[in-house]
Structure formats: C-alpha cells, structure tokens
Amino acid sequence: MKKLILSFILLFGIWLGSNAQGYNQLTATDAVTGKVQELGAMVKGKGMVLIFHSLNCPFAKMYEERIKYLRSTFQSQGISFALINPEVTTSEADQLPLRTYIDQSGLNMSYLIDAGQVWTKKFEATKIPEVMVLVPGPNGLEIKYRGAIDNNPQAESAVSERHLERALNQILKGENPMAAQVRPVGCNIRTY
C-alpha cells in the first residue's frame, strides 16, 4: 500500500512539473510587435495576468475599462498583463486589427495570437474574457487563479465581487487566493 501511495505522489509531482515547464515554453506571436514571445520570458516580477480576448466578443468590450484599471494598478507592483486571442491567425490581415485595437484602446499590453489554439487547450480556457494568473514557482510557472474578472460583466457599478483584484492582492501578500478558480462568464471559445 505504501508503495502505491508513494508511486502516486511521485507521478503527481512529475505531472505538475511537466505542466509548469510546459507553460514556460509556450510561444505565440505578439500582434503589437510582430515578434514571437515565450511565456516564461514574458513573466517578469511577481506574476502575469493572461486574458483570453477577442475583438468579436461584446463581453471583452464591456471589461475594457476594468482591464485598464487593473493593469495600471498592478503593473507597478510587479504584475504584467497580456491579452491572447484564440480566434485569429498570424497573418498580417489578422494582426493589424489587434495592433490597431491596442493603440486605440489605451490598453498598452501585448496582444498574443493563439494560432492553432495551443494555449487555449493547454490552459483549458472556455470563455472570453477568462483570466489566468501565472506566478513563477519552483518547477516553472503555476496558475494561482483562473476564471472571472468580477461578478458583473454588464454593469461595472453593480460589481460586488472583484475576483481578479482580490486574487492579485492576496498573491502580492504571499498568500494563495481565497478562491483559486471562479467560473468565467462571457463568449464561448470555439475550439477546432
């Protein structure tokens, strides 16, 4: 029985380590710069908020001001931000609207292209916008929070639970988020 338990613990540890390293090595083209970025190199400081996003999703537009607020609040505290689009290709025709959106919206962050939906599948993302908070760990990047930004996409004034903001504050204090996962609300990501 002890051997079975030890084997299970060993396999679970190997699985965790391989997933963490797998996150570090994910690559995507940044539509803003046109360069291929590696996720592990993008996470500097205390962590990164990765937001699954699409120009075609009205929920993403509803969250635009809140995303700007969160970026401006937490970027100076060592948390970086990036959008990632699972619905476009790396063609110049697809990159141009993303680059224009970043310039016109004032979001001022990387806009990654998840060509082939590799990131979407690896993170098991299902909604737009859905966020992943990644922090450096002993075996590579770890997801500390995933899910919704808050509890009311339609009306910012009616928000009573700021899930992402609370999680980031707890991470900055060296704590694990009270809720590590909150069901996201938004547009379904079409996987293919």
What are the pLDDT digits (tens) for 145-164? 999 999 998 988 899 999 99
Buried b (16+ CB within 10 A) or exposed e, 106-129: ebebbbbbbbeeebbeebebebbb
Predicted model pTM: 0.87
Q: How many domains does the chain have?
A: 1
- Among the listed residues 52, 77, 46, the one whose alpha carbon sits nearest the alpha carbon of residue 67: 52
pLDDT attached to residue 22: 78
pLDDT attached to residue 74: 97
- Among the listed residues 42, 12, 10, the one whose alpha carbon sits nearest the alpha carbon of residue 26: 42
Buried b (16+ CB within 10 A) or exposed e, 40-55: bebbeebbbbbbbbbb
Write out pLDDT tens, residues 21-36: 579 999 999 999 999 9
- Could you give the dihedral angle defined by the CA atoms of residues 104, 129, 123 and 189, in that order, rounded to the nearest 10 degrees? -100
CATH of the domain at 48: 3.40.30.10
Please determine, for residue 144, whether its predicted confidence score (pLDDT) is greater than 60: yes
Task: Give me the sign of the Cα torsion angle 147, 21, 141, 81.
Answer: negative
State which residues form the domain around 40.
Answer: 2-188
